Amino acid sequence: MKVGFIGVGNMGGPMCRNIIRNTNHEVVVFDLSPEAVKACTDLGASSGTSVADVASRCDVVITSLPVPRIVEEVTLGAGGIAENAKPGTVFIDLSTNSPATAKRVNEGMKAKGIQMLEAPVSGGTARAKDGTIVIMVGGDAKVFEQNLPLLKSFSGEVIHMGDIGYGSTAKLINNMLAFCNSAAAAEALMIGKRSGIDLKKLDAVIRNASGMSTGYANLSAKTLAGNFEATFALDLAHKDLRLALEMADELGVPGLIAPQVMSLMRMARGMGLGSSDSASMVRVYETALGEDIRA
Ligand code: NAD
């Protein structure tokens, strides 16, 4: 089978490379970044010349793209997947979108005889690399079953959530929770810093106690090392939380905690940290209080 992969960045790159390593599918990649493409062609993939080129000659086309605007452009726009893929092609989107975007893209694909699965992922770059990422899938159950071996070739857990829209819904709820935990971690670490406690020991306690969460673990690792190079950019985290808050609004769920985290993210972006890692939320505390949290 010929598998196209469009968007081989921080997440798409390692997931694509696991497909190359773990299957005998022929993989064709396209990305605006030549270095990102090279990291996949070095492992045996071939390079497509455009979205249209990849879409027109693959049986399955996978995308992992930054924001809904780009996903819509690459899928429904001129020269995009819907315009160029053959009827019967399967389209799988691993990006994080709103349920409304997923449904809109699905309608556009359906009109061209293309079957779509929305399949956002969770686990960050580390789990994308080691192939244990979690995939939450919305779409037709039969299409899901047919493509399960491909999804399993680069993941740990694959869960079919129901119709198109429920994959994104699960992803946005999950990420809202993770960012709330990260924001609380930033506050907790600053309290620790000011108290004079040994931060390495505090970290060891939390990692083995009830305060532990993935949001804590990610933020504390970056903060204590003072390394905010993006594995998950703040701009993308902000996009996810904005979509989660929009969904909460549409569903009539008033938020107390997530909107505060949104304000923290907005302040960090206002400080010019959008392309730094999402853990740089902690820089708001550090800058306001005039001291860094390092161990
Ligand atoms: P990224 O910016 O590292 O990668 C996106 C890639 O898409 C880049 O290489 C970019 O060059 C490419 N691209 C952009 N526009 C393109 C176009 N028009 N045609 C072809 N390629 C194009 O982002 P990422 O961190 O890999 O995130 C990808 C998606 O996965 C996002 O939707 C994000 O929210 C989601 N996600 C990220 C993480 C994480 O930890 N980084 C975790 C889970 C989900």
Does 98 map to a domain?
yes
Q: Which of 142, 163, 184 is the endpoint of a domain? A: 163
Taking the CA of residue 231 as reference, the ligand 1 atom at the shortest distance is 41
Q: How far is the CA of 233 from the centre of ligand 1 (A)?
A: 10
- Give the mean pLDDT of 93-112: 97
* 202 and 64 within one domain: no
Cβ(36) – ligand 1 distance below 6 Å: yes
* 192 and 110 within one domain: no
With contact defined as beta carbons under 8 Å apart, do 260 and 254 qualify? no
Q: What is the pLDDT of residue 103?
A: 98
Q: Per the structure, how many domains does the chain have?
A: 2
For ligand 1, mutation pick of 32, 121, 222 (most atoms within 8 Å of CB): 32
Q: How far is the CA of 66 from the centre of ligand 1 (A)?
A: 4
Q: What is the pLDDT of residue 279?
A: 98
How many of the other CB atoms lie within 10 Å of CB of 124?
18
Cβ(279) – ligand 1 distance below 6 Å: no
* 198 and 157 within one domain: no
Cβ(70) – ligand 1 distance below 6 Å: yes
Does 295 map to a domain?
no
Instruction: Look up residue 95 and give its amino acid.
Output: S
Q: What is the pLDDT of residue 206?
A: 98
For helices 214-225 and 199-207, the axis angle rounded to 10 degrees is 160
* 157 and 54 within one domain: yes
Look up the pTM and report it.
0.97
Does 147 map to a domain?
yes
For ligand 1, mutation pick of 51, 54, 218, 236 (most atoms within 8 Å of CB): 236
- Give the mean pLDDT of 128-149: 98
Q: What is the pLDDT of residue 262?
A: 98
* 216 and 107 within one domain: no
- Give the mean pLDDT of 202-231: 98
Q: What is the pLDDT of residue 75?
A: 98
pLDDT confidence tier of residue 155, bands split at 50, 70 and 90: very high
- Give the mean pLDDT of 21-50: 98
* pLDDT, tens only, 94-103: 999 999 999 9
Residue owning the nearest CA to atom 25 of ligand 1: 10
Cβ(75) – ligand 1 distance below 6 Å: no
Q: For residue 101, how far is the Cα from the chain centroid?
A: 15
CATH code of the domain in which 55 resides: 3.40.50.720
Q: Domain containing 257: what range?
A: 169-289
Instruction: Look up residue 190 and give its amino acid.
Output: M
Q: What is the pLDDT of residue 137?
A: 98
Q: What is the pLDDT of residue 124?
A: 96
- Give the mean pLDDT of 143-164: 98
Can you tell me the distance from the alpha carbon of 105 to that of 90, in angstroms, rounded to the nearest whole number? Answer: 13
Q: What is the pLDDT of residue 259?
A: 98
* pLDDT, tens only, 169-187: 999 999 999 999 999 999 9
* 125 and 7 within one domain: yes
Does 256 map to a domain?
yes
Taking the CA of residue 95 as reference, the ligand 1 atom at the shortest distance is 32
Just list the catalytic residues. Answer: 171
pLDDT confidence tier of residue 286, bands split at 50, 70 and 90: very high
Q: What is the pLDDT of residue 115?
A: 98
- Give the mean pLDDT of 78-83: 98
How many of the other CB atoms lie within 10 Å of CB of 236?
21
Q: How far is the CA of 189 from the centre of ligand 1 (A)?
A: 29
* 142 and 64 within one domain: yes
pLDDT confidence tier of residue 5, bands split at 50, 70 and 90: very high
CA distances from 168 to 121, 135, 245, 246 (A): 9, 11, 13, 13
Number of residues that this document lists for the chain = 295
